[in-house]
Structure 1
Amino acid sequence: MPANRPMARLEWVMLLSLAAVWGGSFFFNEIAVRELPVFTVVLSRVALAAIILLALLHLRGERMPRGRAVWLAFFGMGLINNAIPFSLIVWGQQHIASGVASILNASTPLFTVLLAHLLTQDERLTGGKIAGVIVGFAGVAVMFGADALRDLGAQAVAQLLCLGAAVSYAFAGIYGRRFRAMGITPMSTATGQVIASSLLLMPMVMVIDQPWTLPLPSPAALGALLGVAAISTALAYVLYFRILATAGATNLLLVTFLIPVSAILLGTLFLGEVLLPRHLAGMALIGCGLAAIDGRMWKAACGAFAR
Structure 2
Amino acid sequence: MKEKNEVIFTKAYMVMILGLLSCFLWGSAFPSVKIGYELFSIGTADTFEKIVFAGYRFFISSMMIFIFCLITGRSIKIKKEDISKVGFLGLIQTTIQYIFFYIGLSNTSGTKGSILAATTTFFSVILAHFFYEEDKLSIKRVGGVILGFLGVAIVNLNGGGFQGGFKFAGEGFIIISSLMGALSGIYTKKIAKNISPFAVSGYQLFIGSILLIFAGILGDGRGISFTLKGSILLLYLGFISAAAFTLWAILLKYNGVGKVTIYKFSVPLFGVFLSYIFLGERLLGVNVILGIIFVSSGIILINKE
With normalisation by structure 2, the TM-score equals 0.83
For 1:159, the equivalent position in structure 2 comes to 171
Deviations 1:117-160 (A, max 9, x none): 34556632111111111111111111222677445764x54111
**SS at the partner of 2:129?**
helix
Deviations 1:41-79 (A, max 9, x none): 210111001111111222323032131x31211121112
Q: Which amino acid aligns with 1:24?
A: S
Classify 1:80/1:195 alpha carbon distance in 2 versus 1 (closer, same or farther; 3 Å).
same
For 2:270, the equivalent position in structure 1 comes to 262
For 1:98, the equivalent position in structure 2 comes to 110
Quote the offset at 1:103 in angstroms: 0.9
For 2:232, the equivalent position in structure 1 comes to 223
CA RMSD of aligned residues (A): 2.8
- Segments of 5+ residues of structure 1 without an aligned counterpart are 297-307
Deviations 1:208-235 (A, max 9, x none): 1432xx25233333222111102x1112
Classify 1:72/1:17 alpha carbon distance in 2 versus 1 (closer, same or farther; 3 Å).
same
Classify 1:61/1:270 alpha carbon distance in 2 versus 1 (closer, same or farther; 3 Å).
closer
Q: Do 1:7 and 1:247's aligned partners in 2 also have CA atoms closer than 8 Å?
A: no
Does residue 48 (structure 1) correspond to residue 63 (structure 2)? The answer is no
For 2:26, the equivalent position in structure 1 comes to 22
User: 1-side partners of 2:178 and 2:143: how far apart?
Assistant: 19
The residue correspondences of 1:144-293 to structure 2 (distance < 5 A) are: 144-145=156-157, 149-151=162-164, 154=167, 157-181=169-193, 183-211=194-222, 214=223, 216-230=225-239, 232-241=240-249, 251-275=259-283, 276-293=285-302
Query: Percent identity at matched positions?
Result: 20
User: 2-side partners of 1:226 and 1:4: how far apart?
Assistant: 28
Q: Do 1:64 and 1:192's aligned partners in 2 also have CA atoms closer than 8 Å?
A: no
User: 2-side partners of 1:283 and 1:152: how far apart?
Assistant: 17
**SS at the partner of 2:282?**
coil
Q: Which amino acid aligns with 2:218?
A: V
User: 2-side partners of 1:75 and 1:246: how far apart?
Assistant: 22
User: 2-side partners of 1:53 and 1:4: how far apart?
Assistant: 20
With normalisation by structure 1, the TM-score equals 0.83
For 2:152, the equivalent position in structure 1 comes to 140
User: 2-side partners of 1:215 and 1:54: how far apart?
Assistant: 26
Quote the offset at 1:240 in angstroms: 3.2
For 2:76, the equivalent position in structure 1 comes to 63
For 2:3, the equivalent position in structure 1 comes to none
Classify 1:201/1:71 alpha carbon distance in 2 versus 1 (closer, same or farther; 3 Å).
same
Of 48-57 and 232-241, deviating more is 232-241
- Segments of 5+ residues of structure 2 without an aligned counterpart are 1-5, 43-48
Classify 1:150/1:41 alpha carbon distance in 2 versus 1 (closer, same or farther; 3 Å).
same
Classify 1:163/1:153 alpha carbon distance in 2 versus 1 (closer, same or farther; 3 Å).
closer
Of 194-203 and 162-171, deviating more is 194-203
